[in-house]
């Protein structure tokens, strides 16, 4: 089945699908499961992670449940419910279990971004049933399934990264955007914040919390591009709005060191022989990695940054250059922005917009990602070598 994806459409075939009444829960709570397509079905619950080279563990199998209990069987982590029914296409329902323990890293699952692009029922914040931006919805709800295979953007923008995080042995606190938006203390017990390949939509309270965490010494790694670009608002189970932060004088470059500038590009990444690309060898190249969306520090304001890698350019090419940036904040926090939303999906060659990645590129990405995660675990961050000075 086709992944859910930006602007994807899917075949109209009979299916069993559903959603839960909250994107996340904690021990002792129950999530209500709403389904359509068949009254009789099997719900198979998997915890996603790393299990001896497998990416998931079977937790339970239930017959036509109305609720999913969160208990000792479902420790903190990311879960998928597989819905199966006779003569129906199977789909997934994602949910997350969060805790509040001290951790090496807090991983933020970007459900606001998933829902903004979700085309189920015909409408997203980007377009309407006719495929045109002019007919897009101004408000969308979480009270509906995700399009495609039902997993939102989890299986390509987050799962490959989470598998490596658990393989490295990180102590992880799992949260969604909602926990960050509602609890300003969510990062008080962690050493680092990590976001995946597509974390575009942040509420103002989310941005405030992440800014405050970095100012307090918490490290930040964005394994994506176009991160923290748009302001969204939450009202119950509905979200609305997509005003760029730079339109309110809070460009994402102030936090990340670089920011979104290009859509629809396809460029090779060239290492500048600096961390975290050193293990690839001198002047290493990762084919096709910058895109579909990419970031740059050129033409922005923000702290001085190290250009860890940059896009290949032709001798006649003019304009800004895609790049991966790194800097050390005055608080002692380190901030790494990979600057491309292909980073995570390319690890498993799952990018939905047509870019493909061979085994060499996948191995390179796994090597660099693992190097970053080991640094997160050890907290021994290198000193940035500034290439672009601070830009007031």
pLDDT digits (tens, 9 = 90+) for 117-132: 999 999 999 999 988 9
Asked if the model's pLDDT at residue 5 lies above 60, the reply is: no
pLDDT at site 233: 98
| pLDDT of 315 | 62
Question: Nearest 5°: CA angle at 168, between 167 and 174?
Answer: 80
- The pLDDT tens digits for 271-313 are 999 999 999 999 999 999 999 999 999 999 999 999 999 999 8
Q: What is the pLDDT of residue 318?
A: 72
pLDDT of residue 133: 92
Here the tokens at position 97 are 């279990």
Mean pLDDT calculated for residue range 6-26: 82
Lowest-confidence segment of 77-86, 126-135, 362-371 by average pLDDT: 126-135
Amino acid 3: pLDDT: 62
Residue 221 confidence (pLDDT): 98
Cα angle for residues 70, 22, 244 (degrees, 5° grid): 135
Structure tokens of 304?
């001085």
User: What's the full length of the chain, in residues?
Assistant: 392
Residue 317: is its pLDDT beyond 90?
Answer: no
Predicted pLDDT at 18 = 98
Mean per-residue pLDDT over the chain, rounded: 95
pLDDT band at 67; cut points 50, 70, 90: very high
In this prediction, residue 1 carries a pLDDT of 45
The answer on pLDDT for 12 being more than 80 is no
Lowest mean pLDDT among 13-17, 44-48, 365-369: 13-17
Distance CA 78, CA 297 (A): 33
Segment 242-251 mean pLDDT? 97
Q: Inform me whether the pLDDT recorded for 98 exceeds 70.
A: yes
Alpha helices in the chain (DSSP H): 111-117, 154-157, 159-168, 177-182, 204-215, 253-256, 343-347, 359-378
Structure confidence at residue 298 (pLDDT): 96
pLDDT at 119: 93
Predicted pLDDT at 7:
41
Tens-place pLDDT, residues 212-235: 999 999 999 999 999 999 999 999
In angstroms and rounded to an integer, the radius of gyration of the C-alpha atoms of the chain is 20
Per-residue pLDDT averaged across 201-219, rounded? Answer: 98
> What is the pLDDT at residue 348?
97
**Is 80 exceeded by the pLDDT of residue 10?**
no
What's phi and psi for 9, nearest 5 deg? -120, 155
pLDDT at 174 over 50: yes
What pTM did the predictor assign?
Answer: 0.96
Cα–Cα distances in angstroms (integers) from residue 71 to residues 26, 74, 76, 82, 246, in the given order: 8, 5, 10, 19, 42
Q: What is the pLDDT of residue 392?
A: 87
């Amino acid at each position: 089945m086709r992944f859910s994806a930006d602007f994807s459409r899917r075949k109209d075939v009979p299916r069993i699908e559903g959603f839960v009444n909250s994107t996340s829960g904690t021990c002792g709570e129950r999530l209500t499961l709403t389904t359509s397509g068949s009254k009789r079905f099997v719900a198979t619950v998997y915890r996603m992670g790393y299990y001896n080279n497998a990416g998931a563990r079977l937790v339970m199998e239930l017959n036509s449940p109305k609720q999913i209990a969160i208990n000792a069987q479902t420790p903190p982590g990311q879960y998928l419910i597989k819905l199966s029914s006779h003569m129906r296409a199977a789909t997934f329902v994602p949910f997350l279990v969060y805790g509040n323990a001290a951790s090496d890293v807090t991983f933020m699952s970007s459900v606001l971004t998933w829902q903004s692009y979700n085309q189920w029922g015909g409408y997203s914040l980007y377009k309407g049933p006719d495929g045109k931006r002019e007919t897009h919805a101004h408000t969308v709800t979480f009270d509906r399934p995700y399009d495609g295979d039902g997993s939102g953007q989890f299986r390509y923008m987050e799962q490959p990264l989470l598998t490596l995080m658990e393989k490295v042995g990180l102590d992880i606190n799992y949260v969604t955007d909602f926990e960050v938006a509602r609890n300003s203390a969510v990062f008080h017990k962690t050493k680092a914040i990590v976001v995946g390949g597509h974390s575009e939509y942040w509420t103002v309270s989310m941005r405030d919390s992440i800014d405050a965490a970095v100012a307090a010494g918490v490290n930040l790694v964005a394994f994506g591009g176009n991160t923290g670009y748009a302001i969204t608002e939450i009202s119950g189970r509905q979200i609305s709005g997509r005003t760029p932060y730079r339109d309110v004088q809070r460009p994402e470059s102030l936090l990340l060191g670089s920011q979104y500038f290009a859509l629809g590009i396809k460029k090779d990444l060239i290492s500048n022989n600096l961390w975290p690309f050193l293990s690839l060898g001198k002047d290493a190249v990762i084919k096709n990695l910058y895109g579909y969306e990419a970031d740059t520090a050129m033409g922005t304001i923000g702290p001085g940054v190290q250009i860890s890698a940059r896009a290949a350019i032709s001798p006649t090419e003019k304009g800004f250059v895609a790049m991966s940036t790194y800097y050390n904040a005055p608080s002692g926090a380190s901030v790494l922005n990979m600057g491309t939303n292909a980073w995570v999906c390319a690890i498993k060659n799952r990018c939905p917009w047509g870019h493909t990645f061979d085994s060499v590129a996948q191995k390179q990405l796994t090597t660099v990602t693992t190097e970053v995660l080991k640094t997160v675990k050890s907290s021994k961050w290198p000193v940035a070598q500034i290439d672009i000075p601070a830009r007031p």
